[in-house]
A and B are shown apart, each in its own frame.
Chain A
């Protein structure tokens, strides 16, 4: 059974810092991995999608990497801003099924 873990559960940093969020998964048989952001009381916003054959994806100040063999992904946020404060979720789409398996999320707070 695929399990996805995100560390840390919560993170608070001053504005302007670069930071890394971690995601690990137990079964490397995945189609892809997706990072999301969720603001309180809202739905999920897709940030980045990495296919299983890819190593990284970039969008603006965000960079996500994938090491499928070790079951790890990282989301790097450069020059953090207060508006980046949210819960970040990673999810893997497992082979043999269409569904996404989610981690518990990292609650990020950027302090002005």
Chain B
């Protein structure tokens, strides 16, 4: 299957700093990428839908100014957690589908474990 690479796999940062997470589709072009957050022993919560060349669409309750999403190319989307606080500590996962869009499989990155101290 297609490969989605997410980096870093884990990061520890100080409270008040910003952290950037990258999501790359390695062998296909992804018009749309998705960012999820997962709390321990819970399912995935969609944060936003990222469309190449346009603004991201955020889910209700997700702070746009805290979670900045950029999708500058067909193979790269980034999530920046700004002014991070301990409550932002979580597991963040991105996903992308191939050129068939809604008809194709969604592939996921390895996830990023963010710990804010």
Q: Footprint of B on A, CB under 8 Å?
A: 31-32, 34, 36, 41-46, 49, 51, 89, 91, 93, 98-100, 102-105
B25 to chain A, nearest CB (A): 14
Interface size of B by CB at 8 A reads 26
- The one of A32, A34, A98, A102 in contact with B44, judged by C-beta atoms closer than 8 angstroms, is A102
Asked, given contacts A41-B113, A100-B34, whether A32 binds B103 with beta carbons under 8 Å apart, the answer is: yes
Q: How many angstroms between the C-alpha atoms of A41 and B110 in the bound complex?
A: 9
Tally of A-B Cβ pairs under 8 angstroms: 56
5 chain-A/chain-B pairs, Cβ below 8 angstroms: A41-B91, A42-B111, A44-B95, A99-B46, A104-B42
Q: Are B103 and A31 in contact (CB under 8 A)?
A: yes
Q: Are B49 and A98 in contact (CB under 8 A)?
A: yes
Which chain A positions have C-beta within 8 A of B46?
Answer: 99-100
